[in-house]
Structure 1
Amino acid sequence: MRVALVHDWLVTMGGAERVLEVLAELYPDAPIYTGVVDYRALSPTLQKRKIIPSLVQGWPRATRWYNRYLPGLAYAMEQFDLRAYDVVISSSSAVAKGVLTPAETLHVSYVHTPMRYAWDLYPVYYHEEARGLTRRLMGPVFHYLRLWDRLSADRVDVMVANSHTVQQRIQKHYRRSASVIYPPVAVDRLTVNPVPGRYYLVLSRLVRYKRVDLAVLAANRLREPLVVAGDGPERKALERLAGPTVRFVGRISEPEKIRLMQEAKALIFPGEEDFGIVPVEMQAVGRPVIAFGRGGVLDTVKPGETGWFFAEQSVDAVVEAIKSGDRVNWDPELIRRHALAFGTDRFRDEFSLLMKRALARESPDDRIRLETRVKDGDRG
């Protein structure tokens, strides 16, 4: 069976790229087609693979300006020649699902989210962040991208969502049903630190929609120590907001990230994410998560047992959630056991099951039963 993998772009190692790594392990002979690639940013596992970039790779500063080239990337995905493959598996949060495949080829798309800057986050980018010429161009460009995105979803034979929130977005924007298979999290490499934590922690890119400002202002009000790890365009503004108990450490290595999680009191997660790898990792070290109760955390955090939710994105709500969480006698081992359910082996098992049944070309009624079994974690 000839298999090809397709990914939006390979310029960093985030959660989507970790999914691709596991897919590459499942299909060791499959080449990877992608919009643009920066080999220096990839893990050793992906560096060893045959990677075929699109025509956009030759455009100026493609690995830095790939977001600016989004309409071009949509076009470029359609230029890949995938006639030689029996199965195409796309890993998509933007354009990868838009590849063209022959009628006899099975196309399975693992959707991290529908294109958020074209759908859910478009009003934020348009009204709050875009300026000048960018704002004037956004309307017509993203109108075209939404049409392309909706039509390209019809090219997929089997659609998989990484959370129930993304499943709902797929139904809303694409009018498609999707199975839910949670992404793989490397929980086995993390261990519990039994020593009580000393500070609250934010681990995030510092961009506006992550709402890190809420954590900073809540720490100011409570005079609680807060460590903010990560970097981004909002860092200077956040540093101006911060009081004496807030410390910014910038980008950190993986060992430093693990140490910060193990020594923290809890993670504060004030944004809405499609799934959210960091909350699962935090639970894997036995620490609770104080999170905005929307998005992927609804699947990964159990309120009162492994974390605490706040219902609105306001400083008052975050402050009250921190106070409520501080009154709970958290059980680190229970929190860790919950996180272990999101490990890599579970992803391999569930994705392999889905592929087995998809290749059997089951009837629509069978497909519905498959989706139910996958959601419930059936291995059989």
Structure 2
Amino acid sequence: MRISVAHEWLTNWGGSERVAAEIRDVAGAQELVVSVANRELVAERFPDLPVRALWPSRLPSASTRWARYAVPMIGAWATARIEADALLVSSHFAAHFAAARFEGPSIVYYHTPARMLWCPEIELARLPPAARGAVRGAILPSMRRWDRRAAQSPTVVLGNSTAVARRIADAYGRTAQVLHPPVDVDRWSSLARGGRSHLLWVGRLVAYKRPDLAIEVARRTGLPLVVVGDGPERARLERAAPAHVRFLGHAPESVVRDALAHAGLLVFPGEEDFGIAPVEALAAGVPVVALARGGALDYVRAGENGVLVEEQEPEAFARAVRAAWASSWDERLIRDSARRFSVDRFRAEFASVLDATLGTAWRRRKVGRARTISSSDVAPSPVAP
């Protein structure tokens, strides 16, 4: 059985890329199809797998400025032809369009329905005010109809959290099975905890993740805050942050481990589809103070491993942080709460989905690992009309 995996783009390495890699490994797929590929990343992460990039990879600076090519990516996925016996899709934007032209069984793992279509507030905020009304009135309705039609094609629909499954039902009218993404909990569960000295925030410094709210909490509580991660908001945040907020940037694992070992709490004020960093913190025995929305509802258990905050505003989070900092926590219980999100659990559950969808034929094939990737594997390929 020949199996192909489609994933949005391969320009950096994050949670969705890890899911695509696990899907490929579990299924023994022979091909990975992406809209845009970074050659170095492909060589590093998939040295033994043919990776086919669609025509948007030919566009100028596509591997570094891919966000400007949203429309070409949609067009590329909507017209792509993938030849295989089964198609597995990792989608958070437009990759699920590949299932619409695929003739065999397909499984789409949704990290989320496209945010720019179904949760457009953040994207529209980047546009001039005069353009926002036009986008809402003239563009979004037709794009949503097109996107909804594409979502009717997959044989099986998976969502990475309960919140995403609800979005899929609302946007597409489909019932999604929840399959939480794989988290390398073993990597963090052996971390020896030191004395707690600070609050911790981890992630890309972008507006929707609300690092500004974590910094304001540090200001109001007086507790030191360590910020791990980099992004376009860093310079602005550093200028405005009080002296007891320390920015580590994109830090090596040894630095992250030290920051986690001495963290009293992880502050997680943004709304995420799932959120890998909080589960890693739980695996390390660190309680989490999170917004009571999105993926956090699937892993933060109030009073057991953290606190859920109903309002996304500074004083509500400051109150929760003060209370959590003053509380006694059972480290063993916190670590154990992360185990149900392990990599082994993901592999077993995804294999069960494959069995239910494809029968056992996919298990009988041998996974070829001998082939070395060549430059032609990552060159943009023309898309069949």
Structure 1 residue aligned with 2:277? 278
Q: Is the 8 A contact 1:192 1:332 kept in 2?
A: no
**Aligned pair count?**
358
Cα distance 1:103–1:37, how it changes in 2: closer, same or farther (>3 A)?
Answer: closer
Name the SS of the counterpart of 2:116 in structure 1: coil
Cα distance 1:257–1:144, how it changes in 2: closer, same or farther (>3 A)?
Answer: farther
Q: Is the 8 A contact 2:200 2:260 kept in 1?
A: yes
Cα distance 1:43–1:133, how it changes in 2: closer, same or farther (>3 A)?
Answer: farther
Q: TM-score, normalised by structure 1?
A: 0.89
For 1:234-270, what per-residue CA distance to the aligned partner results, in whole angstroms no more than 9, with x for missing partners?
A: 2222223311111112111233222222221111000
Cα distance 1:42–1:199, how it changes in 2: closer, same or farther (>3 A)?
Answer: farther
Q: Is the 8 A contact 1:216 1:241 kept in 2?
A: no
Using CA pairs under 8 Å that are at least 6 residues apart, name the structure with larger relative contact order, 1 or 2.
Answer: 2
Q: Is the 8 A contact 2:191 2:257 kept in 1?
A: no
Which residue type is aligned with residue 212 of structure 2?
A: D
Structure 2 residue aligned with 1:66? 66
Structure 2 residue aligned with 1:54? 54
Instruction: Write out aligned runs for 1:131-142 (5 A).
Output: 131=128, 138-139=135-136, 140-142=138-140
Question: What is the identity percentage for the equivalent residue pairs of Structure 1 and Structure 2?
Answer: 35
Structure 1 residue aligned with 2:305? 306
Structure 2 residue aligned with 1:39? 39
Question: Bigger CA drift: 140-149 or 182-191?
Answer: 140-149
Structure 1 residue aligned with 2:353? 354
Kindly state the Cα deviation for residue 143 of structure 1 after the two structures are TM-superposed: 4.4
Name the SS of the counterpart of 1:78 in structure 2: helix
Name the SS of the counterpart of 1:118 in structure 2: helix
Name the SS of the counterpart of 1:308 in structure 2: strand
Question: Bigger CA drift: 329-338 or 73-82?
Answer: 73-82
Name the SS of the counterpart of 1:68 in structure 2: helix
For 1:328-351, what per-residue CA distance to the aligned partner results, in whole angstroms no more than 9, with x for missing partners?
A: 211212111111111001001111
Instruction: Write out aligned runs for 1:7-46 (5 A).
Output: 7-41=7-41, 44-46=44-46
Q: Is the 8 A contact 2:6 2:32 kept in 1?
A: yes
Cα distance 1:143–1:72, how it changes in 2: closer, same or farther (>3 A)?
Answer: farther
Write the distance in 2 (CA, Å) between the matches of 1:208 and 1:72.
25
Write the distance in 1 (CA, Å) between the matches of 2:203 and 2:42.
20
Return the match for 1:171 from 151, 169, 173. Answer: 169
Write the distance in 2 (CA, Å) between the matches of 1:329 and 1:298.
22
Instruction: Write out aligned runs for 1:134-283 (5 A).
Output: 138-139=135-136, 140-190=138-188, 191-283=190-282
Write the distance in 2 (CA, Å) between the matches of 1:336 and 1:276.
16
Q: TM-score, normalised by structure 2?
A: 0.88
Write the distance in 1 (CA, Å) between the matches of 2:110 and 2:274.
11
Q: Is the 8 A contact 1:193 1:286 kept in 2?
A: no
Name the SS of the counterpart of 1:260 in structure 2: helix
Write the distance in 1 (CA, Å) between the matches of 2:155 and 2:326.
49
Question: Bigger CA drift: 131-140 or 8-17?
Answer: 131-140
Instruction: Write out aligned runs for 1:1-12 (5 A).
Output: 1-12=1-12
Q: Is the 8 A contact 2:81 2:102 kept in 1?
A: no
Question: Bigger CA drift: 254-263 or 167-176?
Answer: 254-263
Cα distance 1:39–1:142, how it changes in 2: closer, same or farther (>3 A)?
Answer: farther
Write the distance in 2 (CA, Å) between the matches of 1:5 and 1:335.
35
Gaps of 5+ in 1: 362-380
Kindly state the Cα deviation for residue 220 of structure 1 after the two structures are TM-superposed: 0.8
Cα distance 1:330–1:100, how it changes in 2: closer, same or farther (>3 A)?
Answer: closer
Write the distance in 2 (CA, Å) between the matches of 1:243 and 1:276.
27
Question: Bigger CA drift: 143-152 or 110-119?
Answer: 143-152
Q: Is the 8 A contact 1:199 1:224 kept in 2?
A: yes
Name the SS of the counterpart of 2:150 in structure 1: helix
